[in-house]
Amino acid sequence: MGLAPYLIISMILFILGIVVMMARKNIIAILLGIELILNASALNFVAYSRFLTNNIDGHIFSLFIIVVAAAEAAVGLAIVIRFFQVRKSIHIDEAVWLNDEV
Amino acid sequence: MTTTLIANLSRYVPELIAVVTMIGALFLEAAVGKFDKAKDYIFSAAGIGLILCLISLSKNMSLSATPIFTGAVIIDPFSTMVKIIMVLGVLGSLYVAFVSKDIAENHKSEFVILAMGVLVGGMLLASANNFLTVYLGIETLSILSYVLAALKRNDGKSTEAGIKYALYGGITSGVMLFGMAHLYGILGTIHFSEVLESLSTLDQTKMLILLPSFVLVFVGLGYKIACVPFHMWSPDVYEGSPIPVTTFFAIVPKIAGIAVIVRITHIFFDKSGVLQDSWVGFLQVVAILTITLGNILAIGQKSVKRMLAYSSISHAGFMLIGVLVIDQIGISAICFYGVIYLFMTLGAFGITSFLGDQFNSDRFGIFDGLIKSHPFMSIAMIIIMFSLGGIPPFGGFIAKYNILSASLHKGFYTLAIIAALNSVISLYYYLRIVQSMVFKDATYEENIKGFTFINQLVMLGICFPILFLGFFWEKIMITATNAHLLVK
């Protein structure tokens, strides 16, 4: 197997992530979409590192991505919990208190 | 090995001081958090840490540029200048937080800890020299900012601001990473110092993938400085967050984002060619859209915070003009603009914060008839508004003049004309505040508690540089001109 299948899979993951973020109305699901995008880029880094560039920068980068994604998910979920306790909903359409008044 | 590590760390003293201050504030909060005077201790400890940081930064200013930590981080005069602006911004927003009533008393120490953390991320971003440090800097900056936005944890608007910031931030940093992955695949390296040599050996087909990847990377960076079309989060987050946090957001992440865009533009697009032309064209479109949309959307706002958010978007557009000239005069114009922008933003948000605490509102109505009851603060606000709009004797005019002269120097005439016209549009909404202060009658009788003697003195101290730099700007301009960027 060469580089191409990895790139195709990561592209599919990336597009799925974008679609999830646009189509789902649940904030938790949107956070999952972000995770998909992050994993797509981590896969890209590892694939390029293995097949093209002959150095381990990509491997290191993907490890950092995993760590930072965990931190981001933790903070994101904590804020979602606050939002739920204050507003009694995790539906993104509820988040309309802040907008341009015309 | 140990000696090189110590030599590297000796260049990294300002960041280390910031980290130690953050951890110190964390432990101090855990140790004395229950006492009455805990807030005073933590704020003064953070203030001392920041002043030490400023002193060590000003010592770094004269050093020549050196890459440290095997080239992951670079300490050059430009990054030091940007860090000085950021530290001053944190210092100012800490003062606003100290006196503001918008954050509950027992949450104020959390503001100190998180703000110091964001500062560390911003400093890493300003001196990032490979894609990994850019990514880590942006994430350190963003993840702590999400928490800051949701600092009023029982307030519906504040938690909504946190949610919006976290979702936008997660999406854009994911897209940016995707772009970085492709750049890594094409160039074969994540180090900026090795990029130039691999750029020169690229063939035509790989060049074609390079520019879309850069646009993807720009999504993440453009989101941090809130330029159009990634600006939608900015007014909502600015309105929902407590005012000290808004002050902080308007300065630190914006300046750090501009710094990293400057570095990437100067490293990757230094050589003239197809790549440089298309990137400059792209930045031109973004800058024009950012300035114009920011100004036009600011006109109809009813909330002062939202108006200032849109105005900060258009100021980011002005700074982007300084980026796209790809020249040292552009960099010095940006540094000067950053200094003036810092003082103007601190002043505008500071006075809005004092008034907002009194009336529990951020509408334009809070300024009604202020000149009769508090002439000194009104004159300070008028100076700040004229300066934001770019009226000649004040610092804001000189800052805009430098940016426009840099762009004219490189022959971007249309860009300069559009920017100058926008400066006229912006006067409309800045002068609405002046009109409301001078020509309207006050709807209230009471004295404004926020305008204590010390607060008025601090506001005077913030207005002084705006006035002073309007007349005597050569001194700071020389410092800004010396703020070279190291391009290998």
Partners of residue B192 in chain A, C-beta under 8 Å? none
pLDDT of A102 reads: 60
**pLDDT value, residue B193:** 86
Partner residue opposite B175 with nearest CB, options A37, A55, A100: A37
For residue B68, the model assigns a pLDDT of 86
| Residue A92: Cβ within 10 Å count | 17
How large is the greatest C-alpha to C-alpha distance in chain B, in angstroms?
A: 73
My answer on whether B277 and B244 are in the same domain is no
Whether residue B224 is found in the same domain as residue B318: no
Model confidence at A45, pLDDT cuts 50, 70, 90, reads: very high
CB neighbours (10 Å) of residue B328? 17
Asked if B425 is an interface residue toward chain A (Cβ–Cβ < 8 A), one would say no
pLDDT of residue B478: 79
Residues B87 and B120 in one domain: yes
> What is the C-alpha separation between B316 and B430, in angstroms, rounded?
17
Q: What is the pLDDT along chain B (488 residues), one digit of tens a residue?
A: 677 888 888 889 999 999 999 999 999 999 887 887 888 899 999 999 999 999 999 988 887 888 888 888 999 889 999 999 999 999 999 999 999 988 888 888 899 999 999 999 999 999 999 999 999 999 999 999 999 999 998 999 999 999 999 999 999 999 999 999 999 998 888 998 888 888 888 887 888 888 899 999 999 999 999 988 899 999 999 999 999 999 999 999 999 999 999 999 998 888 888 888 999 999 999 999 999 999 999 998 889 999 999 999 999 999 999 999 988 888 989 999 999 999 999 999 999 999 988 888 888 888 888 888 888 889 999 999 999 998 888 889 999 999 999 999 989 999 999 999 999 999 999 999 999 999 988 777 677 777 888 888 899 999 998 888 888 877 777 777 777 766 54
Residues of B in contact with A98 (CB under 8 A): 157, 160-161, 164, 235-237, 239-240
Lowest mean pLDDT among A75-84, A90-99, B170-179, B317-326: A90-99
What's the pLDDT score for residue B175?
94
Q: Which of B234, B268, B302 is the last residue of a domain?
A: B268
Residue B335 sits in the same domain as residue B471: yes
Helical packing angle, B131-149 and B243-268, nearest 10°: 170
User: Are B264 and B274 in the same domain?
Assistant: no
Residue B486: per-residue pLDDT: 64
pLDDT at B216: 93
- In this structure, which amino acid lies at residue A55? N
Give yes or no for residue A26 having a pLDDT over 70.
yes
Q: What is the pLDDT of residue B11?
A: 87
pLDDT in the model for residue B13 = 92
Q: Within an 8 Å CB–CB cutoff, is residue B171 touching chain A?
A: yes
| Domain identity same for B257 and B284 | no
- Do residue B296 and residue B346 come from a single domain? yes
Name the 3-class secondary structure at A98: coil
CB-nearest partner of B188 from A34, A42, A53: A53
Rounded to a whole number of angstroms, the distance between the first and last alpha carbons of chain B is 24
Cβ separation of A79 and B150 shorter than 8 Å? Answer: yes
So what CATH class is A3-94? Answer: mainly alpha
> Are B241 and B323 in a shared domain?
no
Size of interface A-B (CB pairs under 8 A): 139
Does ipTM top 0.90?
Answer: yes
Contact flag B147-A75 (C-beta cutoff 8 Å):
yes
Q: Are residues B248 and B274 in the same domain?
A: no
pLDDT of residue B161: 94
Cα distance from B166 to chain A (closest Cα, Å)?
6
pLDDT at position A49: 92
Closest residue in chain A to residue B175, using alpha carbons only: A37
- According to the model, what pLDDT value does residue B61 have? 83
* Residue B124: closest CA among B111, B110, B138: B138
**Minimal Cβ distance to B143: which of A41, A54, A71:** A71
Q: B146 and A76 in contact by Cβ < 8 A?
A: yes
Cβ within 8 Å, pair A14-B178 = yes
Chain A CB contacts of B185 below 8 Å: 44, 48, 52-53
Of B147, B164, B181, the CB nearest to A95: B164
> Which of A68, A72, A98 minimises the CB distance to B239?
A98
pLDDT per residue over A56-71, tens digit each? 899 999 999 999 999 9
Q: Cα distance from B82 to chain A (closest Cα, Å)? A: 25
Q: Count how many domains chain B has.
A: 2
| CB burial string B37-72: b at 16+ within 10 A, e below | ebbebbbeebbebbebbbebbeebeeeebebbbeeb
Q: Are residues B258 and B216 in the same domain?
A: yes
Partners of A11 on chain B (C-beta within 8 Å) are none
C-beta atoms of B154 and A86 within 8 A:
yes
Q: Which of B224, B251, B268 is the last residue of a domain?
A: B268
B315 touches chain A (CB under 8 A): no
Smallest CA–CA distance, residue A93 to chain B, in Å, is 11
Domain that holds residue B220: 1-268
Cα gap B225→B250, rounded to integer Å = 9
Question: Do residues B291 and B153 share a domain?
Answer: no
Note whether B282 and B243 are same-domain residues: no
Is residue B143 within 8 angstroms of chain A, CB to CB? yes
Distances B211 to B96, B170, B189 between C-alpha atoms, Å: 42, 22, 16
